Chains A and B, each alone.
Chain A
Amino acid sequence: MATQTAVSEQKETTTGGFDWGLALTVVSGVLMLAALFMALVWAPDAANLKAPAERAAQRIFYFHVPSAWIGFLAFIVAAGASVMYLVTRRQKWDIWALSSVEIGVAFFAMVMLSGPIWAKPTWNVWWTWDPRLTISTISWLLYIGYMMLRGAVDNPDRQARFAAVYAIIAAMSIPINWMAIRWWRTIHPAVVLPGNNSAAQGGFGMTGSIATTLIFCVVAFTVFYAALMYHRIKLENLKRRVDTLRQKILYR
């Protein structure tokens, strides 16, 4: 029964007159290219950074910050979809949650990689126990746990239920973790950032084209996330449809 709904949903997406998927893909591709151009060429060097390595590394921040934003957005979407799944029991929401977590984990991996590359020339260390770094890593591990949980449960109905329960608990734990880790590190003034901008430790206030570039990148990444979601959901629908068809043939 559940797989039936997946099949019908699949039909819905293919019979629409206007191809939203294609449009979304093209728009996000153009936006990402523009974001790349703005981040690497158009945005000026940060005025206060002297060392060339620091100036080059500063440009990572145009992709680092949007990636972190998408990471958290993806987990919020996953938690919302999980609540919807437990309430409505429609497979669609399970697919939403699963897709969103996978994309979020990928974006968080980018955050984890780009962060140290920026931090080494700027802070002179790859890693500090700053609340932001710690909470990002914990969230990343939480959602890797989500994917491992999914992989370890065979029964599809149970898999969806367990994953939804876990996603809700994980999403609830993130703000509490955040608070705890912030309190834990306020003893160390050197790593606690005064403003709400994670680049502030590098010591610049954002103005003009730097701010414009960052905002543009956040928008471009959000559209990119939507495009990825569209394709991942479509892929999962197709996968489940293939499973249904295969079972139909096997047990005919």
Chain B
Amino acid sequence: MNCASSTTAMLPQTELNVAESVEDTAPPAQATAVPPGGIAAYARKVLAIVGKDVAAEIRTKEMISAMVVFSLLIILIFNFAFDLRAENLNTVAPGVLWVSIAFAGMLGLSRSFILELDRGVLDGLLLTPVDRSAIYFGKMLGNVLFIGVVEVIILPVFVILFNQSASALPLLVGVVVLGTIGFASVGTLFSAMAVHTRAREVLLPIMLFPVVIPVMLSAVRLTSGILDRLPFEDVSHWLVLLIAFDAIFIAASFMLFEYVVEE
């Protein structure tokens, strides 16, 4: 029975591929043009894709729960690795926070396109009358959202375990959001590539970490600036760098995504 169901699943998929490639020969340039129906329609399409990912996650709950537990484990492991005491807490804390976010994020990103590919969802998505960039933004926002949920849980834990005052939280949230966007912008693009490689998610960290070093560095600097209560002028250039990275890499990934998924 299992075999039969898999063949029936395969057949329409190959047909879709053919139909899609015929349609695809016409206008790859059109993908970057202004989508028909204006910004509101475009946003609706993006949100529909986010909604699909959220619905799938709510039904399985497998990704976010794994990410949360993993990031908590990383915070605990750092405690053993660095022998955290009160005097070195503030120097180590930002690094611990960002390593746990980055590793948990990597876990989420590496799964992001595997579900799509395994169940033929990606072909369906590409067939829909939606701009390729809408798929990119949908997937990216979904990833930001999932990593965000993890952060909502680990940030209070971090504040408690590292003995920080809760008044730092609002600023921390801002930095965390910007850092997550930068991380997910390239991460989504690379994740779409990594699923097509032989080793699948193994390659993603190797591709992603060297590229997102500026994000990690500026986020860690900003976080330690917040924890040490430095004046804003001392760390403002890191904020500029972080925002610039976000903008540049969202734009680049947005333009390059259609080359990754075309086929």
A162 to B190, CA, bound (A): 9
Asked if B259 contacts A158 (CB within 8 A), the reply is no
Q: Pick from A155, A165, A184: contact of B260, CB below 8 A.
A: A165
Q: Pick from A142, A165, A179: contact of B193, CB below 8 A.
A: A165
A184 to B203, CA, bound (A): 28
Nearest-CB distance from B206 to chain A (Å)? 5
Q: Mark B residues whose CB is within 8 Å of A.
A: 186, 189-190, 193, 196-199, 203, 206-207, 210-211, 213-214, 217-218, 221, 237-238, 241, 244-245, 248-249, 252-253, 256, 259-260, 262-263
Asked if B193 contacts A184 (CB within 8 A), the reply is no
Q: Which of A112-120, A169-177, A212-220 contacts B (4 or more CB under 8 A)?
A: A169-177
* Interface residues of chain A: helix, strand, loop or mixed (majority): helix
Asked if A149 contacts B217 (CB within 8 A), the reply is no
Asked if A166 contacts B207 (CB within 8 A), the reply is yes
Q: In the complex, how many residues of chain A place their beta carbon closer than 8 angstroms to a beta carbon of chain B?
A: 30
How many cross-chain pairs have Cβ atoms below 8 Å apart between A and B?
87
Q: Pick from B190, B196, B207, B218: contact of A153, CB below 8 A.
A: B196
Question: Provided the pairs A152-B203, A166-B193 are in contact, do residues A145 and B252 lie with their beta carbons within 8 angstroms?
Answer: no
Asked if B259 contacts A183 (CB within 8 A), the reply is no
- Report if A22 contacts B (CB, 8 A): no
- Report if A148 contacts B (CB, 8 A): yes
18 contacts between A and B (CB under 8 A): A145-B210, A148-B203, A152-B203, A153-B197, A162-B196, A164-B259, A165-B260, A168-B256, A170-B211, A172-B249, A172-B252, A173-B210, A173-B211, A173-B214, A176-B241, A177-B214, A180-B213, A180-B241
Chain B contacts for A173, CB-based, 8 A: 210-211, 213-214
A138 to B216, CA, bound (A): 14
Asked if B210 contacts A142 (CB within 8 A), the reply is yes
A157 to B248, CA, bound (A): 27
Asked if A183 contacts B238 (CB within 8 A), the reply is yes
> Which of chain A's residues 131-170 have a Cβ closer than 8 Å to chain B?
138, 141-142, 145, 148-149, 152-155, 157-158, 161-162, 164-166, 168-170
- A86, A166, A173: residue with the most chain B Cβ atoms closer than 10 Å: A173
- Report if A181 contacts B (CB, 8 A): yes
Asked if A138 contacts B193 (CB within 8 A), the reply is no
